[in-house]
Amino acid sequence: GGIITQTPKFLIGQEGQKLTLKCQQNFNHDTMYWYRQDSGKGLRLIYYSITENDLQKGDLSEGYDASREKKSSFSLTVTSAQKNEMAVFLCASSIYRGSERLFFGHGTKLSVL
Amino acid sequence: GDSVTQTEGQVALSEEDFLTIHCNYSASGYPALFWYVQYPGEGPQFLFRASRDKEKGSSRGFEATYDKGTTSFHLRKASVQESDSAVYYCALGRTGNYKYVFGAGTRLKVIA
């Protein structure tokens, strides 16, 4: 079986800071995703990538950048952290688009002071 | 666009109670429907999926039946345990479309 590893597990930042979250998968999946999870709002798509060097914006991409330099890794950057922001960022991958299950990492919990 | 609605934000039950979490969707055609479970400190885990009318998905004692007529995919379990306490997400996906749609989630607390 494979695994998705997200680092760091916890991230504390200052207002206005640029923060980077990393995700690695060893499933050899083509498609990778970044979701933001807020209590009571479900999972909202920030960015996804269908192959190496591809980037596609999701519904919540403003304020974020992403990078997919290798098939196995997908990074997300918060371009300017917002004061008192608190959320969990989840990385996921899938073998195929839309009709197959997603595999998730354990998440990165972000707190901004 | 497509949408998924989970009626209950929170559910509290005692062990051995029957569980129903309601999931309704709005979408044309036959999207794939999923249930995921998320335990504290972890990412969501796939429970099961269904993609045809009347198809039943099941795993770990949980089940749901795809109902095109009522556009529903309700999660049920006959007898819950304390270890089932988690957040449950209903989701929708389409072949050829990378964007999955998730419900808001239902937090289940089972009291021993």
Confidence at residue A112, expressed as pLDDT on a 0 to 100 scale:
93
Written as six digits, the tokens of B33 are 């429907």
Dist. CA A14–CA A1, nearest whole Å: 37
Is B41 a residue whose pLDDT tops 70?
yes
Among residues B53, B83, B84, B77, the alpha carbon closest in space to that of B66 is found at B53
**Using an 8 Å Cβ cutoff, are B96 and B44 in contact?**
no
Encoded amino acid at A88, one letter: V
A98 inside 8 A of chain B by CB: yes
Cis peptide before B31 (omega within 30 of 0): no
Question: SS3 of B84, please?
Answer: helix
Å from B19 to nearest chain A CA?
20
**Which letter, b or e, does each residue of A81-110 get, where b requires 16 or more Cβ atoms within 10 Å of its Cβ?**
beeeeebbbbbbbbeebbbbbbbbbbbbbb
pLDDT tens, residue by residue, B72-105: 999 999 999 999 999 999 999 988 788 899 999 9
Average pLDDT, chain B: 96
Confidence at residue A98, expressed as pLDDT on a 0 to 100 scale:
67
CA of residue A71 relative to chain centroid, distance: 14
**Using an 8 Å Cβ cutoff, are A60 and A78 in contact?**
no
Q: Do A99 and B42 touch (CB under 8 A)?
A: no
Is B66 a residue whose pLDDT tops 70?
yes
Site from A9, A50, A99 to mutate, B interface, most B CB atoms within 10 angstroms: A99
Q: Residue A28: CB partners within 8 Å, gap ≥ 6?
A: A2, A71, A72
pLDDT tens, residue by residue, A11-44: 999 999 999 999 999 999 999 999 999 877 789 9
Closest-approach residue (CA) in chain B for A99: B95
Q: Do A90 and B9 touch (CB under 8 A)?
A: no
Q: Residue B52: CB partners within 8 Å, gap ≥ 6?
A: B30, B66
Q: Which of B43, B94, B95 sits opposite A104 (nearest CB)?
A: B43
